[in-house]
Amino acid sequence: MNNPLMTALIIEGVAIVMMLVVLFWLVRTQRKLKHDYQALNDIVHGNTNDIVGLCTAALTVDSRIAAVDNRIAVTDGQINDLATKLAEVEQNDQPDHAYSVDIRKVRSGAGVHELMQSSGLSHDEAALLIRLHGSKNQL
Protein backbone atom coordinates (compact mmCIF):
# COMPACT_ATOMS: atom_id res chain seq x y z
CA MET A 1 0.00 0.00 0.00
CA ASN A 2 2.72 2.36 0.74
CA ASN A 3 4.36 1.68 -2.47
CA PRO A 4 1.58 2.89 -4.76
CA LEU A 5 0.94 5.84 -2.47
CA MET A 6 4.59 6.73 -2.50
CA THR A 7 4.73 6.39 -6.25
CA ALA A 8 1.73 8.66 -6.62
CA LEU A 9 3.28 11.20 -4.26
CA ILE A 10 6.57 11.09 -6.17
CA ILE A 11 4.75 11.47 -9.48
CA GLU A 12 2.74 14.37 -8.04
CA GLY A 13 5.94 15.93 -6.65
CA VAL A 14 7.69 15.65 -9.99
CA ALA A 15 4.64 17.09 -11.74
CA ILE A 16 4.55 19.99 -9.26
CA VAL A 17 8.28 20.65 -9.73
CA MET A 18 7.85 20.54 -13.52
CA MET A 19 4.89 22.90 -13.25
CA LEU A 20 6.93 25.26 -11.09
CA VAL A 21 9.82 25.15 -13.60
CA VAL A 22 7.40 25.84 -16.48
CA LEU A 23 5.74 28.61 -14.41
CA PHE A 24 9.16 30.16 -13.66
CA TRP A 25 10.07 29.94 -17.35
CA LEU A 26 6.73 31.54 -18.37
CA VAL A 27 7.15 34.39 -15.85
CA ARG A 28 10.69 35.03 -17.07
CA THR A 29 9.58 34.97 -20.73
CA GLN A 30 6.65 37.29 -19.93
CA ARG A 31 9.01 39.80 -18.24
CA LYS A 32 11.38 39.66 -21.23
CA LEU A 33 8.48 40.22 -23.65
CA LYS A 34 7.21 43.09 -21.49
CA HIS A 35 10.67 44.69 -21.56
CA ASP A 36 10.93 44.23 -25.35
CA TYR A 37 7.43 45.67 -25.77
CA GLN A 38 8.34 48.73 -23.72
CA ALA A 39 11.54 49.26 -25.76
CA LEU A 40 9.63 48.99 -29.04
CA ASN A 41 6.91 51.29 -27.72
CA ASP A 42 9.57 53.90 -26.86
CA ILE A 43 11.05 53.60 -30.36
CA VAL A 44 7.61 54.00 -31.98
CA HIS A 45 6.88 57.01 -29.76
CA GLY A 46 10.22 58.58 -30.74
CA ASN A 47 9.52 57.96 -34.43
CA THR A 48 6.08 59.52 -34.05
CA ASN A 49 7.62 62.61 -32.47
CA ASP A 50 10.18 62.79 -35.31
CA ILE A 51 7.43 62.57 -37.93
CA VAL A 52 5.42 65.30 -36.18
CA GLY A 53 8.52 67.50 -36.14
CA LEU A 54 9.23 66.85 -39.82
CA CYS A 55 5.63 67.65 -40.77
CA THR A 56 5.75 70.87 -38.77
CA ALA A 57 9.03 71.84 -40.44
CA ALA A 58 7.58 71.02 -43.86
CA LEU A 59 4.57 73.25 -43.20
CA THR A 60 6.85 76.06 -42.06
CA VAL A 61 9.01 75.73 -45.17
CA ASP A 62 5.90 75.61 -47.33
CA SER A 63 4.56 78.81 -45.81
CA ARG A 64 7.94 80.50 -46.28
CA ILE A 65 8.06 79.40 -49.92
CA ALA A 66 4.53 80.74 -50.43
CA ALA A 67 5.56 84.07 -48.88
CA VAL A 68 8.65 84.27 -51.11
CA ASP A 69 6.53 83.35 -54.13
CA ASN A 70 4.11 86.16 -53.28
CA ARG A 71 7.00 88.60 -52.88
CA ILE A 72 8.38 87.51 -56.25
CA ALA A 73 4.98 88.07 -57.88
CA VAL A 74 4.71 91.53 -56.31
CA THR A 75 8.27 92.38 -57.39
CA ASP A 76 7.55 91.12 -60.89
CA GLY A 77 4.51 93.40 -61.05
CA GLN A 78 6.60 96.33 -59.83
CA ILE A 79 9.26 95.60 -62.45
CA ASN A 80 6.59 95.51 -65.16
CA ASP A 81 5.20 98.83 -63.90
CA LEU A 82 8.69 100.36 -63.90
CA ALA A 83 9.35 99.04 -67.41
CA THR A 84 6.10 100.61 -68.61
CA LYS A 85 6.96 103.93 -66.96
CA LEU A 86 10.48 103.79 -68.42
CA ALA A 87 9.07 103.20 -71.89
CA GLU A 88 6.74 106.16 -71.41
CA VAL A 89 9.60 108.36 -70.25
CA GLU A 90 11.74 107.29 -73.20
CA GLN A 91 8.91 108.13 -75.56
CA ASN A 92 8.47 111.52 -73.93
CA ASP A 93 12.22 112.19 -74.07
CA GLN A 94 12.21 111.85 -77.83
CA PRO A 95 12.58 115.43 -78.99
CA ASP A 96 10.24 116.64 -81.67
CA HIS A 97 13.09 118.48 -83.36
CA ALA A 98 13.70 117.18 -86.86
CA TYR A 99 17.48 117.31 -86.54
CA SER A 100 17.80 115.70 -83.05
CA VAL A 101 19.05 112.35 -84.39
CA ASP A 102 21.48 114.14 -86.70
CA ILE A 103 22.76 116.31 -83.84
CA ARG A 104 23.46 113.17 -81.80
CA LYS A 105 25.35 111.71 -84.74
CA VAL A 106 27.42 114.91 -85.02
CA ARG A 107 28.22 114.84 -81.30
CA SER A 108 29.34 111.23 -81.62
CA GLY A 109 31.73 112.21 -84.43
CA ALA A 110 29.82 111.78 -87.70
CA GLY A 111 31.15 113.63 -90.73
CA VAL A 112 29.46 115.55 -93.57
CA HIS A 113 29.32 112.59 -95.95
CA GLU A 114 27.94 110.26 -93.30
CA LEU A 115 25.16 112.72 -92.45
CA MET A 116 24.35 113.18 -96.12
CA GLN A 117 24.08 109.41 -96.68
CA SER A 118 22.26 108.37 -93.50
CA SER A 119 19.88 111.32 -93.09
CA GLY A 120 19.47 112.58 -96.64
CA LEU A 121 20.75 116.06 -95.75
CA SER A 122 22.29 118.39 -98.29
CA HIS A 123 25.98 119.20 -98.04
CA ASP A 124 25.26 122.67 -96.63
CA GLU A 125 22.85 121.34 -94.00
CA ALA A 126 25.34 118.70 -92.83
CA ALA A 127 28.17 121.24 -92.70
CA LEU A 128 26.01 123.66 -90.70
CA LEU A 129 25.07 120.98 -88.16
CA ILE A 130 28.72 120.08 -87.75
CA ARG A 131 29.67 123.74 -87.22
CA LEU A 132 26.89 124.30 -84.69
CA HIS A 133 27.03 121.05 -82.73
CA GLY A 134 30.36 119.44 -83.51
CA SER A 135 33.58 119.66 -81.56
CA LYS A 136 36.47 121.83 -82.62
CA ASN A 137 38.28 118.75 -83.95
CA GLN A 138 35.52 118.14 -86.49
CA LEU A 139 35.84 121.64 -87.93
Residue 104 lies in a domain: yes
Residue 119 lies in a domain: yes
| 139 confidence band (pLDDT: 50, 70, 90) | low
Per-residue confidence (pLDDT) for residue 119, from 0 to 100 = 84
| 115 confidence band (pLDDT: 50, 70, 90) | confident
Q: In total, how many domains does the chain have? A: 1
Residue 84 lies in a domain: no
Query: Residue 126 is part of which domain span?
Result: 96-139
Residue 73 lies in a domain: no
Mind listing the pLDDT tens digit for each residue in 24-42? 999 999 999 999 999 999 9
Give which of 86, 110, 89, 87 is closest to 99, Cα–Cα: 110
Residue 22 lies in a domain: no
Give which of 132, 58, 49 is closest to 97, Cα–Cα: 132
Mind listing the pLDDT tens digit for each residue in 40-85? 999 999 999 999 999 999 999 999 999 999 999 999 999 998 988 8
